[in-house]
Amino acid sequence: MDDPTCITHCAHELELPTHLWLKLASVPYLGGATLRKLLRRFGSMAGILGANPTQLAATGHLRKGTLEGLTHLSESGGQAELEALQAQGIRILHWGNPGYPKRLFRLPDPPPVIFVRGRLPGLGLVIAVVGRRDPGERGLRHARMLSEELSRAGVPILSGMALGIDTAAHQGALAPPNGQTIAVLGSGLERLSPKSNLPLALRIAARGALLSELPMGVWPRAATLMARNRIIAALSSALVVVEAGLTGGTMNTAKRGQRMETPVFAVPGSPGTDLLLRTGKAHVLVPEAFQAQRMLAMLCKTQNSLGATGNPGDRARPEPMQGKLFTNHESRECDSLS
């Protein structure tokens, strides 16, 4: 498998029973970047599982725990766990699965497996609304208002279900009767955090989806929360930063979005958003003058300035994305706005 972009097209090379993909998600240190290297070396998932420990070790890519996990992957087990998750309404989406969000292939390390509770909305135009955990009342008000207006315009809202701006964004998105929202977690779906957001999580799952790349029982840590940000950036058509400090997870999300040429909008009035605006890394967004349709029209116009030479999934490096800003589904939505 010499072409790394084949991940988005060559389903036969990714054929593997779902219960083995589930076990794969628990193999230590086996992320998307490492799995891509192994696919280039062995040609298919079957080739990886058929390799002996000596052949796997010879790649030079694997830690001891990863090597041991892959060596024992084909052993019995996994099917009962898969059935238990399915009974809880949790779906396992993996590379090669038609439901796996192709936008994640914009990442140099797309998660090989994601866990989804609820119904993942069709990923046409999706806007992420993010910000700090300890905002002022003004930031909370703006997050709710912006998310509600976009939701009323039919746009799903994406965020990370943290306290503060994230929570306000999800709440605003759910205010309209048909509003949809997606929460990307930095923990397993059984380890929701903060616990105070459990009622919100249930509402999100009923009207959208909870999504995580982590096995069910994994607790959130600083590293997993930071890694979660790349998924938010990759899944979004645009990022709205409501309030941010000069460092931290919100600015990390904005930076990751910029690398993928995802449009970033910032509300003036906080150190982080003011820095994004001052350095020309974000469009200014004034909530008091905000009109959802105007923003969506701007996003649709932006896609034409980036060319149209490929699929956002065809990505193997972290440099600026070569290809369309929007998927074909998004383009059709843009046509309906014009």
pLDDT tens per residue, range 179-233: 999 999 999 999 998 899 999 999 999 999 999 999 998 999 999 999 999 999 9
CA distance 3 to 16: 20
The lowest-confidence range among 56-65, 180-189, 196-205, 304-313 is 304-313
What is the model's pLDDT at position 314? 37
Residue 161 has pLDDT above 80, yes or no: yes
Specify the pLDDT at position 7.
53
User: Which overall architecture, per CATH, does domain 127-337 show?
Assistant: 3-Layer(aba) Sandwich (3.40)
For residue 302, pLDDT over 70 is answered with no
The CATH number fitting domain 4-94, selected from 1.10.3470, 1.20.120, 1.10.150, 2.30.30 = 1.10.150
Q: Determine if the peptide bond prior to 287 is cis (ω within 30°).
A: no
Q: Where are the domains of the chain?
A: 4-94, 127-337
pLDDT reading at 76 higher than 90: no
For the beta sheet containing 209-212, the strands, ordered from the edge strand earlier in sequence to the opposite edge, are 90-94, 113-118, 209-212, 181-184, 157-159, 127-131, 238-243, 264-266, 283-284
Judge whether residue 305 has pLDDT over 80.
Answer: no
